[in-house]
Amino acid sequence: MVTPDTIRIAPKVLLHDHLDGGLRPATVIELARETSYTELPSEDAAELGRWFRSGADRKSLELYLEGFRHTVGVMQTPDAIARVASECAQDLAADGVVYAEVRYAPELSTQGGLSLDAVMEAWLDGFERGAAAAKAAGHPIVIRAIVTAMRQFARSVEIAELSVKYRDRGVVGFDIAGPEDGFPPSRHLDAFQFIHRANFHITIHAGEAFGLPSIWEALQWCGAERLGHGVRIVDDIVVQPDGSIEMGRLAQFVRDNRVPLEMCPTSNVHTGAVESIEQHPIDLLRRLRFRVTVNTDNRLMSGVSLGDEFAVLVDAFGIGLDEMQWLSTNAMKSSFLAFDERLRLINGVIKPGYERLKADALARSPTLV
């Protein structure tokens, strides 16, 4: 059994994490005071943390998204955005994350009059500061940004242009997020076509609150390279009583093309996309060798770290260090980082990191391996 300490120090890779879903509760309270935001439900950090978690766990994506009113509410000044970004990098690094892509919809931080460029500058400055602090603390991390457009709004072309504008400053891709039902990705075709023409990268939240048509549109109309969640791809897979598997053409396409699935187990239970961790399709998809990755989605709302998510998989499905290494390598291969940098992290950090941990485990209990 992999211990919590081993999980924490094991090199991990995170592809799906929202900047406005990962604030420290104490930071939310301090920023609210500094920016005269008066709508928080509590001024006590522990109580506020609990409020976010219980608000998230209501089996509905729309209800899950309510807590963001407050996190976004305090992210309306450059200092606040930079602080949140810097703490994000430091918290992930302390959790053993060696590479992360963290996403945010900059249009959400323009309520107080900030320009989209000012939001981007503050966000990316925060990442630089946070990564430098993490390195100084002995936990180096490479952190990159994914710029998100909200699927229910109509600014996706402008946001897509913004993502490309900052590609040399740390932005690696473009995403759409928000309520999935009623807002299909094909509403934003112009934005995706712009990204394609710029030779840039696309991931799309699809197959979380809505099923196969959303995944199909994301891949075949919008050209998504990865799927945010994608859990509902199991609707296209039938496990027969004798254990044999039948796959529809969409599931086959996803597996054959090695389309990365950015799976977020705890968040999927909280939004009602999946009934329980034990019933989460991540284990079936992993055993069928889909390109599965493990992610946090919203660390504050779901009350998790990436280490916690791996601990959940260890408990529910008995995965070990080999599976953790496979999942982390999958994520690194699927990142939007340049190929040579991906290889450097796989061969220079992830592989040797797991080899060391496996050697330690062998030394501790030689009969178990």
Asked whether the CA dihedral 107, 111, 113, 119 is positive or negative, the reply is negative
Instruction: Return the number of the residue (217 or 297) whose C-beta is nearest Zn ion.
Output: 297
Instruction: Return the number of the residue (262 or 323) whose C-beta is nearest Zn ion.
Output: 262
Residues with a catalytic annotation lie at 208
Residues 281-310: x where in contact with Zn ion by CB under 5 A, - otherwise, as a string: ----------------x-------------
Q: Residues 302 to 361: which contact Zn ion by CB under 5 A?
A: none
3-state secondary structure of 35: coil
Instruction: Return the number of the residue (132 or 150) whose C-beta is nearest Zn ion.
Output: 150
Size of the site for Zn ion (CB under 5 A): 1
Burial of 338 (0-12, 13-18, 19+ CB in 10 A): exposed
- φ, ψ of residue 229 to 5 degrees: the values are 75, -80
Q: Residues 132 to 171: which contact Zn ion by CB under 5 A?
A: none
Shortest CB 228 distance to Zn ion, Å: 5
Shortest CB 297 distance to Zn ion, Å: 5
- Name the residue among 4, 5, 6 with its Cα closest to residue 358: 6
Separation between Cα atoms, residue 257 and residue 264, nearest integer Å: 21
Shortest CB 320 distance to Zn ion, Å: 27
Sequence-ordered strand ranges (E) for 89-133 = 97-104
Shortest CB 178 distance to Zn ion, Å: 10
Sorted by sequence, the CB contacts under 8 Å of residue 236 that are 6+ apart come out as 212, 247, 248, 249, 250, 251
Shortest CB 16 distance to Zn ion, Å: 6
In which region does residue 61 sit, left (phi positive, over 0), alpha (psi from -120 to 50) or beta (all else)? alpha
Instruction: Return the number of the residue (122 or 227) whose C-beta is nearest Zn ion.
Output: 227
**DSSP labels for 225-277?**
SEEEE-GGGGGGEEE-TTS-EEE-HHHHHHHHTT--EEE-HHHHHHTTSSS-S
Instruction: Return the number of the residue (91 or 297) whose C-beta is nearest Zn ion.
Output: 297
Q: Which residue is nearest to Zn ion (CB)?
A: 297
Instruction: Return the number of the residue (87 or 297) whose C-beta is nearest Zn ion.
Output: 297
| Separation in Å, CA 242 to CA 238, 245, 246, 255 | 11, 9, 12, 22
| Separation in Å, CA 296 to CA 101, 247, 253, 300, 310 | 11, 28, 26, 10, 10
Instruction: Return the number of the residue (95 or 297) whose C-beta is nearest Zn ion.
Output: 297
- Name the residue among 218, 226, 227, 231 with its Cα closest to residue 266: 231
Separation between Cα atoms, residue 6 and residue 123, nearest integer Å: 31
Shortest CB 229 distance to Zn ion, Å: 7
Separation between Cα atoms, residue 214 and residue 232, nearest integer Å: 9
Length of the chain, please? 369
Residues at the contact surface with Zn ion, assessed by CB under 5 A:
297
